[in-house]
């Protein structure tokens, strides 16, 4: 009888250890939770939204323009921003319109805020050279911006983001419950 209890205890211990190791591997290598801190991605993301970071996405693929990414920022914080410029791109804003490599891009995620602004453009005009001292986004770097353009600390202030500082892509909000959704 004692042998049976000992075996059962060992089986439970093994199952628990496997579960802990599996959870650690999933969190460290594949997916991780993150909490939105601040208003820089409004109206797309809200302060305290909880999201899933897909860490695998850029191990098998490259970031794409308008992806929402999580990266290690200079002040030992993780930032959530939108990819605007890819390596080799020129980026410019004029008349509240984004131009990448001379081509105008629509940003539907900004429409809500653009309608509310009455005292000038949502995004002040700039060229990449004015912001980072280069005409193009450097190789293995990204130019990122928050959707709340007037209140976002992004590549206009901290410079471009090296690929090796990018944790992954995020597109799933899982909390609060009434706000569960995927975002573009």
Domains of the chain, with CATH numbers? Answer: 31-182 (2.10.109.10)
Residues in the chain: 184
Q: And the tokens for 79?
A: 């930032």
User: Mean pLDDT of all residues in the chain?
Assistant: 84
Candidate ranges 7-11, 16-20, 162-166; pick with highest mean pLDDT = 162-166
Residues with a catalytic annotation lie at 40, 81
Q: Please give the structure tokens belonging to residue 117.
A: 């602004």
In this predicted model, which residue has the larger pLDDT, 85 or 15?
85
CA distance 147 to 40: 6
pLDDT average, residue stretch 13-30: 72
Q: What is the pLDDT of residue 6?
A: 73
Q: 63 preceded by cis ω (within 30°)?
A: no
C-alpha closest to that of 85 among 148, 141, 45: 141
Whether residue 70 has pLDDT greater than 80: yes
pLDDT, mean of residues 45-63: 81
Span 116-172, pLDDT tens digits? 877 878 888 898 999 899 999 999 999 999 998 888 899 999 999 999 898 888 877
Within 36-184, strands assigned E span 50-54, 68-72, 78-85, 91-94, 97-100, 103-105, 126-127, 141-145, 161-162, 166-175, 181-182
pLDDT value for 14: 78
pTM here?
Answer: 0.80
State the DSSP H helix or E strand holding residue 16, giving kind and residue range, or none if neither.
Answer: helix 2-25
Mean pLDDT confidence for 18-47: 74
Residue 181 clears pLDDT 70, i.e. is over it: no
pLDDT (0 to 100) of residue 118: 76
Q: Specify the pLDDT at position 36.
A: 76
pLDDT at position 65 = 93
In this prediction, residue 81 carries a pLDDT of 93
């Amino acid at each position: 009888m004692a042998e049976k209890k000992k075996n059962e205890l060992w089986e439970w211990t093994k199952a628990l250890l496997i579960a802990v190791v599996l959870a650690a591997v999933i969190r460290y290598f594949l997916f991780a939770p993150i909490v939105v801190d601040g208003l820089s991605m409004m109206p797309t993301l809200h302060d305290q939204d909880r999201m899933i970071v897909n860490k695998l996405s850029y191990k098998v693929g490259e970031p794409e323009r308008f992806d929402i990414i999580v990266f290690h920022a200079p002040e030992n914080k993780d930032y959530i921003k939108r990819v605007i410029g890819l390596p080799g791109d020129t980026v410019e804003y004029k008349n509240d319109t984004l131009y990448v490599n001379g081509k105008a891009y629509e940003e539907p995620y900004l429409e809500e805020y653009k309608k509310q602004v009455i005292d000038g453009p949502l995004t002040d005009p700039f060229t990449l050279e004015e912001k980072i001292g280069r005409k193009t986004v450097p190789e293995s770097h990204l130019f990122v911006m928050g959707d709340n353009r007037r209140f976002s600390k992004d590549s206009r202030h901290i410079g471009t983001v090296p690929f090796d500082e990018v944790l992954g892509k995020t597109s799933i909000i899982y909390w609060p419950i009434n706000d569960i959704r995927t975002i573009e």
